[in-house]
């Protein structure tokens, strides 16, 4: 009764077999970083990705034996366009971070009133078409990474995506009832290119490329997978994944929104998952840089040997001695959405050393996490009773304690650094009877440990530091997607 999960992230991919008790029995990983041929451009080799997926999936199954279902979870909004007959991409895969269509987003907003962001798929699809099929003459397929993986595992039988992935493309109707003809028309995207919408949890095809041809039973975006993997399946439950960036996702089960646009609180509506033809809604708040700030201490400043050392170095001082750091290396996301804000280090004295700076960086990311919580609570109407966290920074004790202190909430740390895999397994298992209900998933949660709040970090001083970091590059601060 185990489930195979294919999990394709931004810099690597894995296959894992998850047992009915929610444990990983076989895990095979392969690094698969994107390339950046020019500043602001992020591309990946889609055929190479498909081959790597088969490699790790076969390895996991060889170790574990047969499975009853397969789940797929992947980075969202990264875009592939391929020939329906040959299965060959027409151009490079374009990563979700790619910024080549920034000005296209501005033009579409001015001419058609569409609010699209460069990290969505819509303008990436249009760019690929304009570059490789300007006459719209070929029979092409568009897909996000989940679609591409399903196509490969089914040997070209399936061209599908689910609502959690489709809702962040910029091409879905706000209520997720179908693809938006108006968005497609504005960008000259033929609707025949779009994948068929299927439930996040539900059998939708067969993995003919795998031994035993198990059923394909879940498709889910990575952040929603992490939400479910941390058992946040009831309204008001929220998680934050602290990886390169930071994503807070909350289940709200609210009514379908009338717009997919950002709210005044700086959050977005998302489809958390869909089952039996019904979408469960949530909200998402975004931190543009989280672990990137620790990497900066290691790779650029050279004051740490590794990210793991940040805990030990920060623990050498009890406080930052008044130093504050705003982690805005790529601007500020929720709630400010100021792309022209920049990283800011304040309060330095002659006595400031690497311990104070390291602690200030960890506390700065923690403050940003608390900002996401405040925005999600204000925008959703739900009070978050506690936080669940995963991602690379979740193993750092100093950081997790700072998050509890900044938010004033208990923090439950996931047993699995990448809870996304567990979430995709839960969704596939629900579809084939490994787990009976969402309540079973809620009850399966067992955190590695719980951190309770101590002395509250100074949020007023933090707000002042954020204000000083903003509008550093006015032209970028003026951008509004």
Asked whether 15 and 7 are in contact (CB, 8 A), the reply is yes
Show the tokens assigned to 387: 């936080």
244 closest CA partner among 461, 473, 42:
42
Largest CA distance in the chain: 67
Reported as type and span, the H/E element at residue 366 is helix 354-380
Show the tokens assigned to 137: 């003459």
User: 33 by DSSP, 3-state: which?
Assistant: coil
Show the tokens assigned to 278: 């019904």
User: 188 by DSSP, 3-state: which?
Assistant: coil
What is the per-residue DSSP string for 70-121?
EEEEE-SS-EEEEETTT--BSS-EE-TT--TTHHHHHHHHHHH-----TTSS
Can you tell me the distance from the alpha carbon of 66 to that of 432, in angstroms, rounded to the nearest whole number?
Answer: 14
Residue position matching structure tokens 């300007």: 134
Instruction: Report cis status (omega within 30 of 0) of the bond before 335.
Output: yes
pLDDT along the chain (481 residues), means of 10: 96 96 94 92 97 98 97 97 98 95 95 94 98 98 98 98 97 97 97 98 98 98 98 97 95 92 95 97 96 96 97 98 96 96 98 98 98 98 97 97 98 94 98 96 96 97 98 93 83
Cα separation values, 99 from 40, 296, 458, Å: 5, 21, 35
> What pLDDT is attached to residue 39?
87
> What pLDDT is attached to residue 418?
86
Show the tokens assigned to 260: 């997919």
- How many CB atoms lie under 10 A from the CB of residue 316? 12
Show the tokens assigned to 211: 């031994």
> What pLDDT is attached to residue 160?
98
Return all residues near 154 (Cβ < 8 A) that are at least 6 apart: 205, 206, 207, 208, 209, 216
Can you tell me the distance from the alpha carbon of 181 to that of 198, in angstroms, rounded to the nearest whole number?
Answer: 18
Residue position matching structure tokens 């998680």: 239
Catalogue all structural domains in the chain, each as residue range(s) with its CATH number. 3-223 (3.30.420.40), 231-413+448-481 (3.30.420.40)
Tell me the whole-structure pTM to 2 decimals. 0.96
């Amino acid at each position: 009764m185990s489930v195979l999960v294919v999990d394709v992230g931004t810099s690597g991919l894995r296959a894992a077999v998850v047992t009915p008790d929610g444990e990983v029995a076989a895990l095979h990983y392969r690094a698969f970083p994107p390339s950046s041929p020019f500043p602001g451009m992020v591309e990946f080799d889609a055929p190479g990705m498909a081959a790597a997926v088969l490699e790790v999936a076969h390895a996991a199954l060889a170790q574990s034996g047969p499975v009853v279902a397969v789940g797929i979870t992947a980075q969202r909004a990264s875009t592939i366009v391929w020939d329906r007959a040959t299965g060959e991409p027409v151009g490079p895969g374009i990563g979700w971070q790619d910024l080549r269509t920034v000005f296209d987003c501005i033009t579409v907003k001015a001419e058609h009133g569409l609010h699209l962001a460069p990290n969505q798929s819509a303008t990436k699809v249009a760019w690929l078409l304009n570059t490789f099929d300007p006459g719209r003459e070929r029979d092409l397929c568009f897909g996000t990474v989940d679609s591409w993986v399903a196509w490969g595992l089914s040997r070209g039988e399936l061209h599908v995506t689910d609502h959690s992935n489709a809702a962040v493309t910029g091409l879905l109707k706000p209520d997720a009832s179908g693809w938006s003809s108006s968005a497609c028309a504005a960008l000259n995207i033929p609707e025949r290119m779009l994948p068929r919408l299927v439930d996040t949890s539900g059998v939708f095809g067969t993995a003919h490329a795998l031994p035993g041809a198990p059923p394909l039973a879940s498709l889910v975006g990575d952040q929603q997978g992490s939400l479910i993997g941390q058992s946040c399946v009831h309204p008001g439950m929220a998680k934050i994944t602290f990886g390169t960036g930071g994503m807070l996702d909350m289940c709200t089960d609210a009514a379908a929104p009338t717009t997919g646009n950002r709210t005044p609180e700086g959050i977005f509506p998302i489809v958390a998952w869909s089952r039996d033809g019904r979408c469960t809604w949530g909200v998402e708040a975004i931190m543009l840089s989280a672990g990137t700030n620790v990497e900066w201490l290691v790779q650029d400043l050279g004051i740490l040997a590794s990210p793991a050392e940040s805990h030990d170095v920060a623990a050498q001082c009890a406080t930052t001695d008044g130093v504050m750091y705003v982690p805005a290396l790529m601007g500020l996301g929720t709630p400010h959405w100021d792309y022209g804000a920049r990283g800011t280090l304040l309060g330095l004295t002659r006595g400031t050393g690497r311990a104070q700076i390291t602690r200030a960086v960890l506390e700065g990311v923690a403050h940003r996490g608390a900002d996401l919580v405040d925005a999600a609570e204000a925008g959703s109407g739900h009070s978050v009773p506690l936080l669940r966290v995963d991602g690379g920074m979740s193993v750092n004790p100093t950081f997790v304690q700072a998050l509890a202190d900044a938010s004033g909430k208990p923090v439950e740390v996931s047993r699995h650094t990448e809870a996304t895999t567990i979430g995709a397994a839960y969704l596939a298992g629900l579809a084939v009877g490994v787990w009976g209900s969402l309540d079973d998933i809620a009850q399966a949660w067992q955190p590695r440990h719980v951190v309770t709040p101590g002395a509250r970090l100074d949020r007023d001083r933090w707000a002042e530091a954020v204000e000083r970091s903003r509008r550093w590059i006015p032209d970028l601060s003026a951008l509004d997607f």
